[in-house]
Structure 1
Amino acid sequence: MVAGEASGDLLASLLLGGLKARWPGLTAAGIGGPKMARQGFQAWWPHEKLAVRGYVEVLRHYREIVGIRDQLAERLLRDRPDAFIGVDAPDFNLDLEARLKAAGIKAIHFVSPSIWAWRGKRVEKMHRAVDHVLCLFPFEPEIYERHGIAASYVGHPLADAIPLEVPRDASRQVLGLTPQDTVVALLPGSRRSEIQYIGASLVAAAVEMNRRRPGLRFILPVAPGLRPMIEPLLAPHAGRVRVELLDGRSHEALAACDVTLVASGTATLEAALFKRPMVIAYNMHWLSWQLMKRMKYQPWVGLPNILLRDFAVPELLQAEATPAKLAEAALAWLDDPARCEAVQRRFQALHLELRRNTAQAATDAIQKILQA
């Protein structure tokens, strides 16, 4: 298996739980993170090596990443596993999967690339690279079937892992928050490049929100290894706002908060599954953005909006993601309880649609692939 960042580590760990339940003697190795390790996964390289976002940023690490992929391919071609599962990270995994599939090793891709949102021609590479795609969203298998690629809708494992009823009071108690507190969660992402481009704006937005509405409580879950990047962002504002850093615990933060400022990515879907009003922020190197925006097919960037096919929550991208605009959009949620209730009802319906016992559905599909 290969999972290339914190969100992939989480999804892969949930899948591994299902795999080990079906095949108790299963062994798994490759590239992964701490959540996979807790399922007995042996990481030959840590997933942080692949946690790079954007064209420009990838170029800076290109030689190291390609070297890792070549070494991994040689090892897998020599030791020949029963199956390879690439978890998201398509820029790394698809080329690797193509080499393995050509050598007769079953190649499975878990989490479809967003070919329906941008880079649609990638489906041609998928045809060469994979034996089967395990899709998280119900509309995806039909797209692959039109291109002759076997695919199954298995639901989203986070929809199984996150409770339908949000444990708000329990999460607040654990985090030292009272039921009366108005809580804002800042989620700047789990990649270094996300912290670099988004982190300072979210902290500055918290300063502005606190100026306009003193007494707000701010919490910021920190992904493993990123505290040294986060703390310097807070230091210049020490006298104007207090942001409580949490080591991990993003799910408790989302359950406890009233609104979240969140970097575009898997965390936006997590926020939706916790039924939290949100403001989505997105920023990257200007050249990467120019390249990306020319290839996108839909007006939305955030997963909740894509799935609901509507601007259900605000998206502030690139130059629009200023501290003042982020603060204004977040405060607007706090000032409109009826709007919050309406979006929470939509998120509840989305949660039910994505809840499909993913571990069972995925292992059923994988068993058929192995027997083919």
Structure 2
Amino acid sequence: MASPAPTESGLAVVLVSNGPGELTTWVRPLAERLHATLPLRPRVPEASASLQLLLVPCPNATGQEEQAARPWGQFERILPARLFWSLLLWPRRFGPWPQRGVVVFLGGDQFWTVLLSARLGYRHITYAEWVARWPGWNDRVAAMSKEVRDQLPHHHRSRCTVVGDLMADLSSFARRDDPLPEGEWVALLPGSKRAKLSVGVPFLLETADRLAQLRPGCRFLLPVAPTTSIQELVRFSGPANPIAAAYGSVVAELGNGYLLTESGTRIELIERHPAHGVLSQCNLALTTVGANTAELGALAVPMIVLVPTQHLEVMQAWDGGLGLVARLPLLRRLIGVLLTFWRLRNNGLMAWPNIHAGRPVVPERVGVITPGEIAEEASAWLDAPERLEGQRQDLQALRGQPGAVAALAREVRSLLPRAIESA
């Protein structure tokens, strides 16, 4: 049954975000908390208030965020990033908007929510992970840490509350009602964008084959990102992907929820998203750089972060510093020197847990690495459960105490009329 269309009466809570990582780790937990504590459409069809999602332009977005969020059933209205400027110019083109509302920044450029809240006449709160850029335009600022609050001018600090790290609550959303079978599980995370998948899929398939030879009892799972499909993953492992020719593993069979390589390695394919429940039960993860490392860190899953630099033509399409370095004209032959310089400028850290800690917490393997080398290293980690537990504890310590989602929800509720809670 379709949700009723938004009306001018009532109130709207508009969550603003950008990419897939922010959606799964910030937006979804907060939306669940708001639904649990307030009567909101579409979960409560007769409610006077609604929960809505607006996606904003961002170079790190995939374009598939709307499709990823829609099955959650949390939002009465979802507007994709391509409509953002039209919304600012002609908001009623997309239906009526309630006269009262709150805009919540949860990713992207903070200025977009400044514009949106001003255009709709709504109140405004920003979740500031590292810095609050426009405190004067916010009714409230929810800071990740005391350091973020201390950066604010003194006359703005009274409207800022330290709520903590939203990622610290992620493990509480990793449901254990579908436990993995017994065994030693390794998660394979090749990325979510075509540029990363073209390298990550063949690299990790061969790594899984080699690790299975070293540890015959090892079991593997691969979460299928909402921005791709099983069929696309299989194509990246075959002749349609020129990079696959550099690796020795081929998909021999695609079954119901799994794939089998020619060497006989079975890899379970996890299509539900987010896959936090199964990921939280894995002994180890092999992952590319990006939002994956933040999610794994929040789940306290030990990991090895992989950046094989031998495929420069593909790395040009990567996001972040690696893509910038790889796109430098006439200098691609100096990629090793440039990459080393870039990493030194960033303290040699590329994975989110390491950047957050300012020191190596999880191993990063950058360079002309091979599946055989990574399989041997993974096997060594799995042979040392005390090392895995040490990394797990370090990751847990980075995220701090849970409770940030509930604290942020309270801040949002403080900007709403009291009448909504008893509606």
Q: Do these two structures clear the TM 0.5 threshold for a shared fold by scoring above it?
A: yes
Candidates 397, 402, 423, aligned match of 1:355:
402
TM-score, with length taken from structure 1: 0.72
Larger-gyration structure (1/2): 2
Partner residue, 1:74: 89
Q: CA deviation at 1:185?
A: 0.7
Letter in 2 for 1:340: L
Partner residue, 2:267: 243
Matched position secondary structure for 1:355:
coil
Q: CA deviation at 1:131?
A: 4.9
CA distance in 2, matches of 1:146, 1:197: 48
CA deviations on 1:292-332 (whole Å, 9 max, x unpaired) are 78596443222222333321211134x45643443343223
Partner residue, 1:55: none
CA distance in 1, matches of 2:204, 2:152: 38
Q: Runs of at least 4 residues of structure 1 off by over 6 A?
A: none
Matched position secondary structure for 1:9:
helix
Spell out the pairing of 1:40-51 with structure 2 (5 A cutoff).
Answer: 40-45=74-79
Spell out the pairing of 1:78-117 with structure 2 (5 A cutoff).
Answer: 79=97, 82-90=101-109, 94-103=110-119, 104-110=121-127, 112=129
Partner residue, 2:379: 331
Query: In percent, how many aligned pairs have the same letter?
Result: 23
Matched position secondary structure for 1:88:
coil
Is the helix fraction higher in 1 or 2?
A: 1
Candidates 136, 143, 153, aligned match of 2:151:
143
TM-score, with length taken from structure 2: 0.65
Q: CA deviation at 1:7?
A: 2.6
Counting matched residue pairs gives 330
CA distance in 2, matches of 1:234, 1:20: 41
Matched position secondary structure for 1:281:
strand
Q: Does residue 280 in structure 1 map to residue 305 in structure 2?
A: yes
Partner residue, 2:17: 3
CA distance in 1, matches of 2:170, 2:191: 20
Letter in 2 for 1:155: G
Spell out the pairing of 1:283-362 with structure 2 (5 A cutoff).
Answer: 285-286=315-316, 289=322, 291=324, 297-317=346-366, 319-320=367-368, 322-351=370-399, 353-356=400-403, 358-362=404-408
CA distance in 2, matches of 1:272, 1:306: 11
Matched position secondary structure for 2:361:
coil
Deviates more, 1:222-231 or 1:96-105: 96-105
Q: Does residue 198 in structure 1 map to residue 200 in structure 2?
A: yes
Structure 2: any 5+ residue segments left out of the alignment?
A: 1-14, 40-46, 56-65, 239-249, 252-260, 309-313, 326-338, 418-423
Matched position secondary structure for 2:304:
strand
Could you say what the CA RMSD is over the residues aligned between the two structures, in angstroms? 3.7
CA distance in 1, matches of 2:105, 2:50: 16
CA distance in 1, matches of 2:107, 2:347: 20
Letter in 1 for 2:162: Y
